[in-house]
Structure 1
Amino acid sequence: MKMDTRNNLHQQVKEKVLFVLGSTATGKSKLAIYLATKFQGEVINSDKIQVHKGLDIVTNKVTDEEMCGVPHHLLGIIDPEVDFTITDFCEKTLHAMNSILDRGNLPIIAGGSNRYIEALVDNETLSFRNKYDCCFLWLHVSLPVLKKYIYERVDQMVQSGLIDEVRDFFTLDGDYSKGIRRSIGVQELDAYYRAEAAGCEDKEKLEKLFEEGIDTMKSNTYDLAYRQFEKINQLKLEKGWNIHLLDSTEVFLKRGFQREQEWRWGVAEPSMNIVSNFLYGDKY
């Protein structure tokens, strides 16, 4: 009987899974990859747009170099024209988690589609919390500071070739309600590309349409970041999720070496301590 009891107790031990939450542009991918290198992890993308193939600049997909050899799942795997539903996300994420756990590695789910994450974790049918022990990290940046950074990042995307990249996806009958065309940066530039396609030679008009499109892209990206902030706050305060806040504001106020140093002190080390306690300690 004692042996049976021990076996039953062993069977009740939950597998562990780590979530990296945060608004767009707060550095979730960087933190997820860093933690994956420290805790033998693999990253599962939870951004419903980045799951599609294409538009790597406008969707800000992590590059092969930035991955640092860490395996990534659900990143750039779905046809651009196909919708990726919450049901699809839950099914593919559970499949990826099981394969990661079978290899003895830690699943790290990172991305900005918080409704998808909520559906995965709180869906009673999936019994997710009964099967898995969850640790939630929230990478937060003060919204005024994040707004400035988002605007700067959009300008950097333009310099990196965003305009040509999105132009390749432009069609006169494009459906902006499905697939990768829902990405911020596609519909905002529609008027500009339509004027080009119509053979507009008025440079001032084209320049105005271009600037209006970029400005709208900036404001829409910030609006998304704000909604993401509100959603995570709701999960923490209203739904009672045990979410660990990592304030990265000071990182974004620094430049160069000082920024990286601040990231080590203010983000990397605290997150390491939280995850260590989660994986190996009694409390987290």
Structure 2
Amino acid sequence: MKIQIEFPAAGKMLNPNNCSKFDDTSPKGNPSSNSNSKPKVIVIMGATGAGKSKLAIDLASHFPVQVINADSMQVYQGLDVLTNKVRPEEQKGVVHHLLGTVSSNVEFTAKDFRDHAIPLIDEISSRNFLPVIVGGTNYYIQSLVSPFLMDVATEDTEENCLLDPPENEQPCPELKIEQESFDYTYDCLKAIDPVAANRLHPNDHRKVHQYLNLYARFGIPPSKVLQEKTAENWGHVDNSRFDFCFICVDASLSALDPFVDKRVDNMIEAGLLDEVFDIYRSDADYTKGLRQAIGVREFNDFLTCYFHKNEESSDASLSQTWSIETFKQTIQDILYGSCDDERKVLLTAAIDQMKLNTRRLVRRQRRRLQRLQMLFGWEIHYIDVRSSILGDSDETWAAEVVEPAVTIIESFLNRQSCPENARNNSDNIKLKQRDLWSRYICEACGNRVLRGAHEWEQHRQGRNHRKRISRLKRCERMSVN
């Protein structure tokens, strides 16, 4: 299925007065590129709710920017409140690309993002605008940065690895199997290639199918080639076709957690449940498209109960009980009225679960950013937004977030190439990347599985792990005494 993306009208330009801070030394005044450098791209990263979109829009007061959305849920049409899309009135005339443009029934992969973002960057730069990538989906950004995925002839990272067998090695005929009789399951992958299986979640059916399909075609365990070839290419910034400046808006978890909880409450008030009501299906697949978004699956039990009770109702017509207006009133009664039945228990539990899952997402996003920095040598500029999100002051935001970002970008635009100190020793990077395939099991933490030396080291340094180790040592000493 082809994904149709509509480009904004070429005449939709920003106020030229906003370009005053640019250095006009590049050809035709283009701030994004010059004759001796790659096109320059700003990437604004960070945890959900930290203010990435707000910062990108505020940068338009200093640079002629256009935004390319890199949030894997905001690319889809619909669920504007749940996915926290920037409303048109909040965009302040800044052109946004890949924002609510993809059908909700389509699986928009990292490859799809890359294939759409590259021509968008070229087109934006050609019109003397500065492309700004904004989003918390780090694998989208990584797919754009990595030269390994820049080969437009490939279908995906792993497939590019296996289009040709490793040097001096041919597929083993005895390993090849017929696709028609192949069992595309996680257990099958685990039996064929346990190393590759250790890198995947058992429910990641798309990736499991992809690995097994490659094995069926080429007869070579995916992990063998991935370890040898992907480690040499994936994630390196210095070989990319663009010159990137990475800015991360960040805050401590003690600040982000209550902010995220409040954000969920505000989304409920703004009509999040109305959106989920509209797309509810009892047989919904929550592993594809827009239904993967946090805030959809969590309300499944509540909505199932709601429709079940309405079907049992004999004193109201079907049109009344299933209307959005009736649903809105029911939600208000459950949340703020004296209603104290099963529906209130399920709704309260669903909201709490959405908050918990969002907090977990924040932690995953932060860990992935640390990994990009430590394993691949990304030079990420961190801006602390703690005071801004707690104080909610425009003056604080401008002084502590926007101004530092402007300074970083001005310095980036004035340099000719990436500084040498932004590149890590390639041999060390390769070693660490290869070790991403090692699996560690922490018995003290309930046999928790950690993938790679970096993830294991982060876990070992974590407060919960150290507490458990300390508790176990105390128990051992007591048992000896």
Structure 1 residues 162-177: aligned runs within 5 Å:
162-177=272-287
Q: Name stretches of at least 5 consecutive residues in structure 2 with no aligned partner.
A: 1-33, 152-236, 314-338, 420-481
CA contact (8 A) 1:36 1:43 kept: no
Gaps of 5+ in 1: 1-9
CA distance in 2, matches of 1:233, 1:17: 21
Mapping of residues 1-284 of structure 1, within 5 Å = 11-126=35-150, 129-199=239-309, 204-255=341-392, 259-281=393-415
Tell me the CA shift for residue 36 of structure 1: 3.2
TM-score (norm 2): 0.55
| 1:137–1:243 CA contact under 8 A, matched in 2 | yes
Report if the CA contact (8 A) 1:21-1:138 is conserved: yes
Offset at residue 74 of structure 1 (A) = 0.5
SS in 2 for 1:26: coil
- 3-state SS, counterpart of residue 19 of structure 1: strand
Alignment match, 2:220: none
Distance 2:240 2:377 in 1: 16
Describe the superposition over 1:243-264 as per-residue Cα deviations: whole angstroms up to 9, x where unpaired: 1010111112214xxx221111
Q: Is contact 2:373–2:379 with CA below 8 Å preserved after alignment?
A: yes
Offset of residue 223 of structure 1 = 0.4
The amino acid that maps onto 1:124 is: F
Q: Hey, what does 2:201 align to over in structure 1?
A: none
Q: Deviations over 1:1-51 (max 9, x none)?
A: xxxxxxxxx754211000000000000000111113421010000001100
Partners of 2:349 and 2:298 in 1: how far apart?
8
Residue type of the alignment partner of 2:277:
R
Give, as a single letter, the amino acid of the residue that structure 1 aligns with 2:254.
Answer: P
- CA deviation vs aligned residue, 1:141-186 (integer Å, no higher than 9, x gap): 1112100000001001111111111100101111100010000000
User: How large is the RMSD of aligned CA atoms in angstroms?
Assistant: 1.7
**TM-score when normalising by structure 1:** 0.91
Highest CA radius of gyration, 1 or 2?
2
Q: Which secondary structure state, in structure 2, belongs to the residue aligned with residue 131 of structure 1?
A: coil
Q: Does structure 2 retain, via aligned residues, the 8 Å contact 1:42–1:71?
A: yes
User: Amino acid of the residue matched to residue 131 of structure 1?
Assistant: R
Among all aligned residue pairs of Structure 1 and Structure 2, give the percentage whose two residues are the same amino acid. Answer: 38
SS of corresponding position for 2:45: strand
Question: Which structure carries more relative contact order (alpha carbon 8 Å, separation 6+)?
Answer: 1
Report the Cα offset of residue 131 of structure 1: 2.2
Measure the CA separation in 2 of the matches of 1:197 and 1:177. 23
**Aligned partners of 2:240, 2:358: CA distance in 1, in Å?**
35
Select between 199-208 and 15-24 the one with higher mean Cα deviation: 199-208
Distance 1:278 1:140 in 2: 20
Aligned residues: 272
Kindly state the Cα deviation for residue 196 of structure 1 after the two structures are TM-superposed.
1.0
- SS of aligned partner of 1:253: helix
SS at match of 1:238: helix
